[in-house]
Amino acid sequence: MNLRPDQLSAALDKPLAPLWLVHGNEVLLVLEAADAIRAAAKRQAYDERETLVVGQGFKWDALTLAAGNLSLFGGAKLIDLRIPTGKPGRDGGDALQRYVAALPAQTLTLITLPELDWTVRKTNWFKAVSEAAHCLELNAPERERLPDWLGRRLAAQKQTASADALAFIAEHVEGNLLAAHQEILKLGLLHPEGALSLEQVQDAVLSVARYDIDKLRQAVIEGDPARCARLLEGLKGEGAAPPLVLWALAHETRSLATLCQGRDDGQPLTALFKAERIFDPRRQQAVNRALARLSMGALRSALVHAARIDRMIKGLLAGDVWDEFLQLALRLARRT
């Protein structure tokens, strides 16, 4: 059963189908859809979860074993099967056909794939999976539809913007939905709910190029704690807006987390750098060094720390925001 993206939410409110297939050319949308399915499965008492990442040397018996290895307490299980290359090979294709022909009971299976070319779509295994599954293809919106996509994202955080403002954002993110997502989140940090003016949008989108903010992001990636401390002191003295500083630190953290997760899932760094729009060789080298010293657990902790700072900025928690900025920067820049 093929689902349109706007049908996913309604489908997840019903008893879940046993097999889901999510694929497409836009990493952000695929990740969000998979996260939504996993969250719905948890709500519907799929309490056990097993993640299988298909990489070099993957044994397809693991899929059969995962399906048969149910909890002793009789709980339902989610099998999260990820195929980063989109090509399971001959053994994998055969295994997938056998698997979908006799789906295990008390089990929900989520298969995640990247963008697929016509050769993959014609394979027997893909036809078998797509015919048996709730299938969701998620591609980046066309350039002329991007402002509408941005408008819906703003509406989700109870903000609106004029057509000119949405077009301005679209022009500056150049079709990169991850970058667009970051800009929308930043507007939510900088401004309250309600209508945004073109001037507010322009200031927010262009302010990312502020020299000192860029230097802070560079110092974090390069692992230079002393420089991070000096730059934060300077930004504080200049009266920099705390939401903007938080956005810069959170942006780098989320980018590193995306790269780290993709690498751990077996995706090549060249493709991940392209998705994150990291083209400069020197920055790629610095990011590589950062990924070598920061684990996924450390990056998740940093994101939790950033969320706590956000609550401080909004007056929901007590604390020294600038001291927390320093602690977060040092956490990211630390060397092992």
**CATH code of the domain covering residue 190:** 1.10.8.60
**Shared-domain flag, residues 225 and 266:** yes
Q: Please list, in sequence order, all residues whose beta carbon lies within 8 angstroms of the beta carbon of residue 322, skipping any fewer than 6 positions away.
A: 232, 236, 242
Token pair belonging to 312 = 């401080």
The SS3 call for residue 33 is helix
- Residues 167 and 155 both lie in one domain: yes
Question: Is 228 found in the same domain as 198?
Answer: no
Task: Mark which of 183, 208, 233 sits at the end of a domain.
Answer: 208
HSE-CB of 269 using CA atoms within 13 angstroms: 14
> What is the residue type of 62?
A
Instruction: Examine the fold and report which residue of 86, 105, 137 is the final residue of a domain before the chain moves on.
Output: 137
- Residues 7, 121 share a domain: yes
Number of domains forming the structure of the chain:
3
Q: What is the dihedral of CA 137, 140, 143, 146, to 10 degrees?
A: 100
Q: Which CATH number fits the domain that encloses residue 78? A: 3.40.50.300
Q: Are residues 126 and 196 in the same domain?
A: no
Residue 276's domain is classified under what CATH number? 1.20.272.10
The residue among 111, 137, 163 that closes a domain is 137
Give how far the C-alpha of residue 278 lies from the chain's centroid of Cα atoms, to the nearest Å: 16
Question: Judging by beta carbons within 10 Å of its beta carbon (0-12, 13-18, 19+), is residue 97 exposed, middle or buried?
Answer: middle
Q: Are residues 18 and 48 in the same domain?
A: yes
Q: Torsions phi, psi of 213, nearest 5?
A: -65, -45
Each of the 336 residues of the chain gets a pLDDT tens digit; together they read 899 988 999 999 999 999 999 999 888 899 999 999 999 999 999 988 999 999 888 999 999 888 877 655 557 899 999 999 899 999 999 999 999 999 988 899 999 999 888 899 999 999 999 999 999 999 888 878 899 999 999 999 999 999 999 998 888 776 678 878 888 988 998 889 999 999 999 888 765 434 477 788 888 999 989 888 888 888 888 778 888 889 889 989 999 999 998 888 888 888 888 888 888 888 889 899 999 999 899 999 999 999 999 999 988 989 999 999 999 999 999 765
With CA atoms as reference, report the closest residue to 166 among 183, 191, 186, 188. 183
114 and 167 share one domain: no
Alpha-carbon distances of 270 from 162, 232, 307, rounded to whole Å: 37, 32, 30
Regarding whether 93 and 42 lie in a shared domain, the answer is yes
The residue range of the domain holding 202 is 143-208
- Same-domain pairing of 77 and 191: no
**Statement to judge: residues 117 and 154 lie in one domain:** no
Q: Are residues 292 and 217 in the same domain?
A: yes
Q: Which of 285, 288, 277, 284 is nearest to 251 (CA)?
A: 277
The verdict on 28 and 108 lying in the same domain is: yes
Contact 291, 222 (CB under 8 A): no
Q: What is the pTM of this model?
A: 0.61
